[in-house]
């Protein structure tokens, strides 16, 4: 179909205006581009938990996934679209390719505010080597699928078009395709710096040219990657040039070096109002730390201590000169308050004599609203922990809450374990499990207690399941300081029967003052995720974000 023919058919015009005056629309793509970070895959339930936190954060758009990538991603997007309300749009990504837009529309059509996001590569290097099409074909496909989305979803829906690798695209062709898709019904055009190639001055100039061309007819959006460490800087330059939607992720998570960080962009707008006159966002910044910690926990991606806004050292002062200044006036070394991003600035101790109401208040300060059975469960765990260690810290409480968010149905349950180990000799581990109600016991030796117990789990599972987990990563860290600190274990595993780059890899977490028990619990969680995926027959419950081609 030619672009001229596609533009000749009547289409419903977008409703507009697209962004309230004085506002920058925050488009969060943690659950789509963020999840494309290698090893960051989330279950459908975990994606829904992150979406709920994004709703508390009050982002404007949640890009929930890429429905054509897998049945699991489709279901996750559909569930998020069904649940998300309060004026927050739910977006789904689709290639300008038959099958993708239809699948995306099916997933988001039940949303209060559906947002279809279609894309095609436009740079000559992508057209020639990846898509193997010419510019005219790319233009025609872009127009075709923008028009289709508008016809299917109507004038009130948001239809966004992205020109993949825009920052390396011939400018005249880029402007031509943007003009054509707006005429075809796009209400937002996105400028992706897909490979993080741009620098702020040139990216600002590019954004300004697009705004001058179509800014009165559609919202101009930007999507910046961090390959040169300039994603946030490029995003801020684009806002100054007239962009009014920014595509960002929690903690800057994303492909390769990641994306522009939501918390950095939002706090830059708030902290530097003279540089962004009359502009702001509707984000509840007090929820930033809670969102950051949840995403870090569920993906297993640690936040570096010196990370801006949400890093552990972001409000820490060690130098005597700095400490003196902060004591006299925090403004001497802090350009924002800890409270403005969700930190309390003080520590409330929870002990075995604390009540539920006090615990609930403390959790609220830490960014978590719990009540009913969920609160009772955390209260029981906190009291038990207070019996086991001297002090229950903020970090301990957050770890208990985060552990709860990653619970999965347990077809494999740990009944009991024991291990013996000595210096200079092998360890011997014994494990008793129930697998679909059948009890299995196995004993193996290993080069240490954790290795021996993992081997015993393998030996118990292999005869029943026909596979055992293969450990690909193991990490253990203390939740807080002190010799009685809780240990938090993280494992990543695949099935022993799966090999190659497409093998499903899942994450398991464990938490205990006994680091061996934490490790074993994490391993069993991973087993249950793998077994759950096997029971479903397809990758329904466990989303693999790297399926499909051409993801930005």
Q: How far is CA 46 from CA 20, 50, 359, 456, 507, in A?
A: 31, 6, 24, 29, 11
64 Cα distance to chain centroid = 9
CB atoms within 10 A of CB 58: 16
Q: How far is CA 489 from CA 49, 116, 403, 476, 538, in A?
A: 21, 39, 11, 5, 28
231 Cα distance to chain centroid = 17
422: pLDDT strictly greater than 80: yes
134: pLDDT strictly greater than 90: yes
Maximum C-alpha span of the chain: 81
CB atoms within 10 A of CB 543: 27
Q: What is the DSSP string of 342-407?
A: T--SS---B-TT--HHHHHHHHHHTT----HHHHHHHHHHHHHHHHHSS-B-HHHHHHHHHHHHT-
Which of 122-131, 507-516, 531-540, 543-552 is predicted least confidently? 543-552
Nearest CA among 513, 464, 454 for reference residue 484: 513
Residue 422 burial (10 A CB sphere; 0-12, 13-18, 19+):
exposed
DSSP assignment, residue 434? Answer: E
* Per-residue confidence (pLDDT) for residue 319, from 0 to 100: 47
* Per-residue confidence (pLDDT) for residue 181, from 0 to 100: 98
Coil, strand or helix: which one is 340?
Answer: helix
Distance, CA of 498 to CA of 243 (rounded, Å): 45
For residue 339 the two structure tokens come to 């409270």
**Does residue 350 contact residue 359 with C-beta atoms inside 8 Å?**
yes
The domain spans of the chain are 24-299, 339-405, 412-536
CB atoms within 10 A of CB 75: 18
pLDDT in tens, 471-493: 999 999 888 777 778 888 999 99
* Per-residue confidence (pLDDT) for residue 321, from 0 to 100: 58
Pick 412-536's CATH classification: 3.30.160.270, 3.40.50.300, 3.40.50.970, 3.30.1050.10.
3.30.160.270
Give the list of residues 6+ apart from residue 225 with CB closer than 8 angstroms, or none.
192, 193, 194, 195, 196, 231, 254, 255, 256, 257, 258, 259, 260
Confidence of residue 348 (pLDDT cuts 50, 70, 90): very low
* Per-residue confidence (pLDDT) for residue 40, from 0 to 100: 85
Nearest CA among 113, 44, 110 for reference residue 76: 44
Pick 24-299's CATH classification: 3.40.50.300, 3.20.20.70, 3.90.850.10, 3.40.50.1370.
3.20.20.70
Distance between terminal CA atoms of the chain? 25
| Average pLDDT, rounded, for the chain | 86
Give the list of residues 6+ apart from residue 33 with CB closer than 8 angstroms, or none.
63, 223, 247, 249, 254, 255, 259, 551, 552
Q: What is the mean pLDDT of residues 259-286?
A: 94
Task: For the chain, give the percent of residues with pLDDT over 90.
Answer: 59
pLDDT in tens, 44-81: 899 999 999 999 999 999 999 999 999 989 999 999 99
Confidence of residue 344 (pLDDT cuts 50, 70, 90): low
Task: For the chain, give the percent of residues with pLDDT over 70.
Answer: 86
Which of 13-17, 146-150, 194-198, 293-297 is predicted least confidently? 13-17
């Amino acid at each position: 179909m030619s672009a001229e023919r596609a533009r000749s058919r009547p289409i419903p015009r977008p409703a507009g205006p697209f962004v309230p005056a004085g506002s920058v629309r925050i488009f969060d793509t943690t659950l789509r581009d963020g999840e494309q970070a290698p090893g960051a895959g989330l279950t459908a339930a975990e994606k829904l938990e992150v979406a709920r936190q994004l709703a508390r954060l009050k982002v404007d758009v949640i890009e929930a996934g890429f429905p054509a990538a897998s049945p699991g991603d489709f279901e996750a997007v559909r569930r998020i679209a069904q649940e998300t309300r309060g004026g927050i749009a739910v977006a789904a990504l689709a290639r300008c390719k038959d099958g993708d837009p239809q699948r995306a529309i099916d997933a988001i059509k039940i949303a209060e505010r559906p947002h279809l996001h279609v894309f095609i590569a436009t740079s000559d290097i992508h057209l020639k080597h990846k898509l193997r099409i010419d510019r005219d074909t790319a233009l025609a496909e872009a127009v075709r699928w923008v028009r289709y989305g508008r016809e299917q979803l109507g004038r009130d829906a948001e239809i966004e078009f992205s020109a993949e690798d825009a920052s390396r695209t011939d400018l005249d062709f880029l402007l031509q395709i943007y003009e054509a898709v707006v005429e075809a019904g796009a209400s937002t055009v996105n400028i992706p710096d897909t490979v993080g190639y741009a620098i702020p001055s040139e990216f600002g100039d590019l954004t300004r040219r697009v705004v001058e061309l179509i800014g009165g007819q559609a919202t101009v959006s930007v999507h910046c990657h961090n390959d040169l460490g300039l994603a946030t800087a490029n995003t801020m330059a684009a806002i100054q040039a007239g962009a009014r939607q920014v595509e960002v992720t929690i903690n800057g998570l994303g492909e390769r070096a990641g994306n522009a960080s939501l918390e950095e962009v939002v706090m830059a707008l708030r902290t530097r109002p003279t540089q962004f006159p009359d502009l702001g966002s509707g984000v509840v910044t007090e929820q930033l730390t809670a969102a950051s910690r949840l995403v870090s926990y569920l993906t297993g991606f640690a936040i570096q201590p010196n990370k801006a806004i949400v890093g552990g050292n972001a409000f820490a002062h060690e130098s005597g000169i700095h400490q003196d200044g902060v004591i006299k006036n925090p403004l001497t070394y802090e350009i924002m308050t800890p409270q403005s991003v969700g930190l309390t600035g003080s520590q409330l101790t929870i002990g075995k004599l604390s009540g539920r109401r006090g615990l609930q208040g403390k959790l609220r300060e830490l960014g978590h609203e719990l009540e009913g059975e969920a609160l009772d469960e955390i209260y029981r765990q906190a009291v038990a922990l207070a019996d086991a260690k001297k002090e229950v810290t903020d970090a301990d409480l957050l770890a208990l809450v985060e552990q709860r968010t990653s619970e999965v149905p347990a077809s494999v349950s740990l009944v009991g374990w024991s291990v013996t180990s000595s210096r200079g000799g092998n360890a011997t581990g014994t494990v008793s499990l129930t697998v679909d109600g059948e009890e299995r016991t196995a004993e193996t030796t290993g080069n240490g207690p954790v290795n021996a117990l993992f081997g015993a789990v393998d030996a118990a599972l292999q005869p029943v399941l026909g596979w055992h987990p293969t450990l690909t990563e193991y990490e253990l860290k203390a939740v807080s300081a002190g010799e009685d600190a809780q240990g938090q274990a993280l494992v990543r595993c695949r099935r022993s029967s799966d090999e190659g780059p497409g093998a499903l890899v899942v994450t398991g977490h464990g938490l205990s003052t006994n680091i061996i028990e934490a490790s074993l619990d994490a391993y069993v969680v991973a087993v249950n995720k793998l077994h759950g995926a096997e029971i479903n027959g397809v990758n329904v419950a466990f989303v693999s974000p790297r399926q499909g081609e051409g993801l930005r």
